Structures are given as C-alpha cells and as structure tokens.
Structure 1
C-alpha cells in the first residue's frame, strides 16, 4: 500500500518518495509491476524447477480434459455467480476496471474456501471465480459509459468515442433516442462472449500442448516477449527495469510463501482510496466520523468492511472451537 504514496500527491501536487527520479513522478506504474510479479516471477520459479509445466504422464490427454473443465464450471456454480456479481459491481465503478474485479473475485473465493492453501496450486476455483468476474465486468462497464458518459474502462472509453463519432450522445436519454443501437450493442457483447467461448473450447486441445514444452525452451521466449511488450507499451526503459525487479521480488514471495495477490490489490486500489479519502475529508469539512455517522448508507458500508476484515479470523476461531 505504501508504494501508492510514491509520485505526485493528487491534492497538493507535491512529489513524494520519488528519489529524484522523473520516472516516478506519476507513481509506480501498474503494468510493469503486474507483469513482473506474475509472469517473470513464475518463469524464474519454473527455471529452477526444470522439466515441463505438467507431468509427462499426462501428455496423452484428449478432449476429455476440456469436457472435465466444462463440468467443473457447473459443479462450482456458486463461485460463478459470486464472481459474476463481483465483476458486475466493480465493472460499473469508473476507474477500477477488470484487474480489480478479477483480483477481488479470486480473493473472495480463497477466503471463503475450506482449503485456501490450495489456491495457486491447482484449485480450479481459482480460475473460475476471477474469469467469471472478468467476463461480467465488460457489460457492466458500459452502464456508466452509456448512461452518464463516464467510462468504466479503457474499452468503454473507446466505445464512447465511437458513439460520439456516429452522432450518438451518451446520457440518460440514450435508451429513448437510440434504442436500436443500444440493443445492437447488447447483442454484440452477448455474441462476442459466446464466440470467444467456442473458440477457446475448439483451441483448448492444442493450446494445452504448450504446457508440455520443456521450460528451458519456453522460458526465454516468454521472458523476451514479456519484456518487449512492457517496453512497447510506453517506450520507457524504466518499465523494463521495474518489471525485472518485481519479477525477482515476486519469485522471493513465491519461495517464502507470501501472498502476491494482496500486494497487487493494495497497489491497484491504493491511489483510488487516497483520492476518495481526500474527497470525503473536504466534503465533511474535516469531521469525517460525524459525516459517516449521519448517513445510514455509509454506516452500512463501514460495517461491511469491518465484517470483511474480521471474517477470516472469526472463521478460524469457530473451527478451532469445533
């Protein structure tokens, strides 16, 4: 969370903890950190393990593995619904986007699981929950974009510009003035999701062959493409260096069993939390607690936050008593 304090402060404009580096004026960039923490760190871990990603005895698996995956989705339907709800709610909030939705869904599934230690070690729910949220957030991000003209993601911002170019003005009256276009947009999103699922199912049998490639062949390719993509995004050498540093840190977190997910969630939401805090203080004229106490919605949200923080400890205490 302290990494989000690096860079220019959103209210006063003062520079904090930059070490006189111009690169950090805008804060710690998210993409190099995510890429290093999850891609490079995993490659480093595989490099030291050797072999291939899966056991050689599983190489003869056919389409039955794909059907097993489909069945597991229906067997774990509560996680699909919960992930979809999380993705819908977060997707409708401007500025958070799919990264936060997927991480929240994964964290929620891990916290409520009877075997949280299995997440990241082959538990299929760790894939189902965040992917459900990731798919649900696309449609939800269109809600603030179309209804209020506030993009909830980069994709919805692009969509807004396309609508404006075609003479469609986003706003509360868009469902009245442009019904045909909006319903066409809804159908397009629906068919794109179905089409992507079909393509994924048809290609899964061949895509999973990648997991049988020896890591000494796979790792140089993945690391080269990863670092090239990080550099191509902004054209900054600092992004490549930061990505490499976070890759080493991520590998150490894997080895010493520290959760990388909580680190990323704090980095994703930290700046938004700070901005919201400053806004709340300004609105309440410095008396934030009294401002919250006078509003039932704020009290309910605060209580839910406290319960969320206490839930893992309470669950562990109840299990110990039983």
Structure 2
C-alpha cells in the first residue's frame, strides 16, 4: 500500500539526504588556510603548558621553530607571536618592547630565515612588557594611559619588527591614530610591503583572562585590569564600525574583531561596511571554555571547536586567529 504523503512543493530535506549532497551545497567553507595560530614565546628552554589553557604551551625559540615548521607542512599559512616576559625584565614604560635583541625580534628573524614561506604577525602593544599591565604608557597625573605618548612608542616598535621581517604588524592597543602613524613610519623606512592587521574592534572583554596568564600580564590586587578607557564598551556596536572605518582610512590592510564568538554581529556589520579583509580573534577564554567543557564530558570539544569557527566564518570573517589551529592542523580528519 502506498504511504500517504504530504502535498509539498518544496522538501528542503532533499538538500541534507546524503553526505555528498550536503558537501556539494555547503555554503560556508572552513579550511586550515583560513586559520592563524597564536603562539607564545619564552626565554626558558623547552616548552611549558599554560595552566588555564590546556594543550597550549609557551615555547623556547628552538621549540618554536619546530612547531612552525610542522604547522606550515600541515597547510597553515600564518602564525601570530606573543612574548612571555619575566617580571624582573618589565618596567613602567615597557622598554623591552623596543629592544632589537628581544625575544620577539629574534623569533621573527629566525622564522623568516628558516621557514620564509610562513607569514609572521607580531603584536604591537605594551601590556606584556609593562609592570602595570596596561597596553600603553600609564600617566599617573591623568590616571589613564597616555594616548599620544603610547602611539610614539608603538610606532617605533612596529618599524623595528618590520625591519626584522614581520609580514604584518598588529596594533592591539586601541589607541587613537596609531594605524596612521604606523603606516607613515613604515613607508618612510621603505617597509611598504609590511602590512597592518589592525585590532579595529577590540572589546573590554572578560574572555581575555587565560591570555593574560599566558603572557604574564599584571593583575591589580588579584583582579584583571580595567581597560575600559581604551578598549570598546561591550554594549556598543556603532562605535566598533566607526573604529574600523577610521582604521581603514588610516591605512590598515586588514580589520579585526576581538573577541569573535560573543561579537558575531560586529563581524557581520564590519563585513557589510568594508571591502578590506576581515579577521576575527577567537580568544583564550573562548578556547578554554570549550576545552574545559570537553574535559568534563559535557560536549565534544572538537565538534564544538569546528562549529564555533564555522559560525565566525559564516558571520563574515575571512581569517580567524584561534588556539584550535594547531590541533586541527594535526588532525587528519579535519576537512581541509
């Protein structure tokens, strides 16, 4: 007997009937080439796992080169470098950030010498280097970070790292005018090929906690620093678009939203308002939340990671900085 069927002109489930059909009709493609791997560098020999980021390590220069070589072999195109600076080497002005013999300049030079085809992105901010943990120069009289004095230091930092071979410098400080000043300084030094990946919409987020442990950024009386005078208000959307458009006007090559997952609407809005590439940073707290839930058996961490990355890509990000990049690059089942 023929089963009774509904009289339907459309049956969208036909699009999902087999793996082959689903693959053919996939709208958002996530590949390893879309991902950028953040890596932490330390002076100490060997590697050291970060307590709040299971599976993520600080690497010595020797270990860093091994990791970078493997990542490139697996199809990853770019890494972003962040230093772990011992407390005894920090000062109020973050002077180590301008040392050409410092950890990050050495790392950039070594990677470009040994793995020249791997793109290197360097963070431009002072928080890993300062005793107070702010992204710029703290002015006691103002009771705030001094915007213009900070921009001067960051510009020198960007030029130094550009000379060392960084493919992109990435100002993450959220100071007014820093992109324009960095672009002018790079060009005046003949570094016209050095790109600027601007942290255009960086929010004052609670999701940065594990990162601050990873780079040894300071806490104040046990609490993470309040950076609301320069990082964006999580309640604001139009302001993020304003910041992004200003960075574009000043010469940024790529605009970035940070964090990614809680700000998918911001990624989408900026994507709709620029022709520049858009990046998103799936930050340490996003990573640690998924991994912790996986360790407790509450979800499948690999599936959750991929789903979260697809959501970021679907919102409009062309590239994603993510701490899952390393494990996904090594996973033969990850659909490349």
TM-score under structure 1 length normalisation: 0.25
Q: Which has the higher contact order (CA 8 A, sep 6+)?
A: 1
More strand by share: 2
Larger radius of gyration: 1
The structure carrying a bigger helix percent of its residues is 1
